[in-house]
């Protein structure tokens, strides 16, 4: 019996999230440039997506590029953006073949226009897929997300759309980027770093 056959799919996580961290450090430990680590990280992402689709995971969220990543050296950011646009172009066919719906969370306005165009084209082409939902967090930061949540809710209170007394956990959840996703069942941080 293979390892996949031993998995109890009734007890399998509905939503897996992966914080993709440590690629640059991994490359440096091997005497390579940081981009070498990012290129290998791209290969790992392909395997993760393929295996989660095979296991019929309903939701996979990849935290790929944080708001803090914009502070990296310009050459590294440009290399990461090239990897991203290359992956969006090369993986679209696989997303369609495997019935995977693509989504994104984060501040996409900060992404270069060419990447936004490619990203939203892939989202549009996969929007009717009914298999796994793959959410990529790009230019994402939890502090930025919470700031936006509070601004949106405060604006609604100010404009008498909701009352301050109506604000509860469900109202906050409705304003999160992930409002239409189930809670994460399993969170993996790839680097081994603990923060």
Q: What are phi and psi of 24, to 5 degrees?
A: -65, -45
> Is 69 marked active-site?
yes
Closest CA to 12 of 49, 52, 48: 52
Helices 113-126 and 74-97, packing angle to 10 deg? 20
Q: Which of 69, 98, 107, 129 is catalytic?
A: 69
Query: In angstroms, rounded to a whole number, what is the distance separating the alpha carbons of residues 71 and 68?
Result: 6
Structure tokens at 128: 């009717």
Q: Which of 8, 10, 21, 180 is catalytic?
A: 21
> Is 59 marked active-site?
no
Q: Provide the annotated active-site residues.
A: 21, 69
């Amino acid at each position: 019996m293979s390892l996949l056959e031993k998995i109890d799919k009734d007890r399998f996580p509905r939503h897996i999230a992966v914080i993709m961290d440590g690629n640059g450090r991994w490359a440096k430990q091997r005497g390579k440039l940081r981009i070498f680590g990012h290129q290998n990280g791209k290969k790992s992402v392909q395997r993760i997506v393929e295996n989660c689709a095979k296991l019929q995971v309903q939701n996979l969220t990849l935290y790929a590029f944080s708001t803090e990543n914009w502070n990296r050296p310009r050459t590294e950011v440009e290399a990461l953006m090239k990897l991203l646009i290359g992956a969006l172009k090369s993986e679209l066919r696989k997303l369609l073949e495997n019935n995977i719906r693509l989504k994104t969370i984060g501040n996409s306005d900060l992404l270069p226009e060419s990447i936004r165009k490619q990203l939203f084209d892939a989202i549009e082409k996969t929007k009717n897929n009914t298999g796994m939902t793959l959410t990529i967090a790009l230019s994402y930061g939890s502090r930025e997300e919470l700031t936006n949540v509070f601004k949106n809710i405060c604006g609604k209170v100010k404009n008498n759309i909701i009352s301050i007394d109506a604000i509860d956990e469900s109202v906050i959840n409705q304003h999160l980027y992930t409002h239409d996703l189930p809670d994460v069942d399993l969170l993996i941080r790839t680097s081994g770093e603990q923060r």
